[in-house]
């Protein structure tokens, strides 16, 4: 089976959107799920959130941010190239129901993942407000598309070059002061998801986070994506990736994410050399 890249667009430095042909995988996709791809036959597997799909065309859309060797290999491919494997959809779908007012918060590639969730929440009659955070204006992703599926979209940047100057939690604090909120979902860097969960905890607002634990098989067999939620061991790939943010042991997640850093650095250096540094 060939998983061809049908479309590619640079959204920000080192961040691209790709439409990939994967007709079998798209058949049962739900918001909040992910796929695992292998770029080459001897490459590693990496999990990527689903940011959209078209069941008729058999295409899945991903937003990829170059973090290390494999994600860089992927974003270096061109339209017409193919990747070796697409496995999915994996994981549980997001908790989508009629809540009332929902706030969806995206950081980095997580902004892509909130789009299908926003669309379904809106279709059920919820009021959907999204907050997109980035370091600077050029890194704000998907703002225009989010506007088409949300009631409103707020932006925050660290340097104030777009939206309000500050963090997504500053925007969230402002909204929480002004209106009742019934559900919050945050997808992005771990410190952001932790800060959002701490902010909503005292207000007892249902809060979901999508855990980016290190994954290998994506089927609950290898144990690498182990996370502690509510004092119990869960596997992010099969029990998640969405979990109750008030129950997650974020410190353990950060610790486990750092386990392979020396090996990841070595793999990146070797790939950069192979790609032509000397
Ligand atoms: C459910 C899920 C959904 C994801 N969705 C997306 C997405 O839509 N777009 C996107 O660009 N990235 C996504 N990621 C993160 C992506 O999988 C990692 O960036 C990728 O695996 C890094 O591989 P690498 O070889 O390029 O980098 P490596 O050199 O292996 O690692 C570079 C950095 O990425 C971190 N990392 C490595 N593996 C993972 C992993 N499995 N999960 C999270 N962080 C990791 C490392 O801790 C390190 O800091 C997702 C991760 C998960 C678990
Ligand atoms: S990735 Fe192997 S158990 Fe989750």
SS percent in the chain: helix, strand, coil, step 5: 30, 30, 40
Q: Determine how many CB atoms are found less than 10 A away from the CB of residue 123.
A: 11
Kindly state the percentage of the chain with pLDDT values over 90. 88
- What does the pLDDT read at residue 264? 72
The whole-angstrom distance between residue 44's C-alpha and the CA centroid of its chain comes to 19
User: pLDDT digits over 25-65, tens only?
Assistant: 999 999 999 999 999 998 999 999 999 999 999 999 999 99
Distance of alpha carbon 145 from alpha carbon 152, whole angstroms: 11
Distance of alpha carbon 249 from alpha carbon 89, whole angstroms: 26
Name the residue of 17, 36, 46, 227 to mutate for ligand 1: max ligand atoms within 8 A of Cβ.
46
With CA atoms as reference, report the closest residue to 108 among 248, 13, 229, 172: 13
Record the pTM.
Answer: 0.93
- The DSSP code sequence of 27-89 is GG--TT-EEEEESSTTS-EEEEE--EEETTTTEEEEEEE--SHHHHHHHT--TT-EESEEEEE
- What does the pLDDT read at residue 275? 67
Quickly state the pLDDT bin for 2 (edges 50, 70, 90): confident
**If you take atom 41 of ligand 1, which residue's CA is the nearest one?**
214
**If you take atom 2 of ligand 2, which residue's CA is the nearest one?**
222
Check if 220 has its Cβ closer than 6 Å to any atom of ligand 2.
Answer: yes
Say how many Å lie between the CA of residue 224 and the centre of ligand 2. Answer: 5
For the CA of 219, the nearest ligand: 2
- What does the pLDDT read at residue 81? 97
């Amino acid at each position: 089976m060939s998983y061809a890249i049908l479309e590619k667009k640079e959204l920000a430095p080192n961040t691209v959107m790709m439409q990939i042909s994967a007709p079998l995988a798209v058949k049962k996709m739900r918001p909040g799920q992910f796929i695992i791809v292998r770029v080459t036959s001897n490459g590693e597997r990496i999990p990527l959130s689903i940011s959209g799909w078209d069941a008729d065309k058999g295409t899945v859309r991903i937003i990829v941010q170059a973090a290390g060797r494999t994600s860089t290999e992927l974003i270096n491919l061109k339209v017409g190239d193919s990747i070796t494997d697409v496995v999915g959809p994996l994981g549980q779908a997001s908790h989508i129901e009629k809540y009332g007012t929902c706030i969806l918060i995206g950081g980095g590639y997580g902004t892509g993942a909130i789009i299908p969730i926003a669309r379904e929440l809106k279709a059920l009659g919820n009021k959907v407000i999204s907050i997109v955070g980035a370091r600077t204006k050029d890194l704000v992703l998907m703002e225009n598309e989010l506007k088409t599926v949300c009631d409103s979209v707020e932006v925050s940047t660290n340097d104030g070059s777009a939206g309000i100057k500050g963090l997504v939690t500053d925007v969230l604090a402002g909204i929480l002061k002004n209106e009742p909120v019934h559900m919050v979902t945050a997808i992005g860097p771990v410190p952001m998801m932790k800060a959002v969960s701490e902010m909503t905890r005292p207000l007892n607002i249902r809060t979901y986070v999508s855990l980016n634990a290190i994954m290998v098989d994506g089927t609950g067999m290898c144990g690498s994506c182990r996370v502690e939620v509510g004092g119990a061991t869960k596997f992010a790939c099969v029990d998640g990736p969405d979990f109750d943010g008030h129950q997650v042991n974020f410190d353990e997640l950060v610790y486990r994410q750092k386990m392979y850093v020396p090996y990841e650095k070595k793999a990146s250096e070797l790939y950069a050399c192979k790609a032509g540094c000397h």
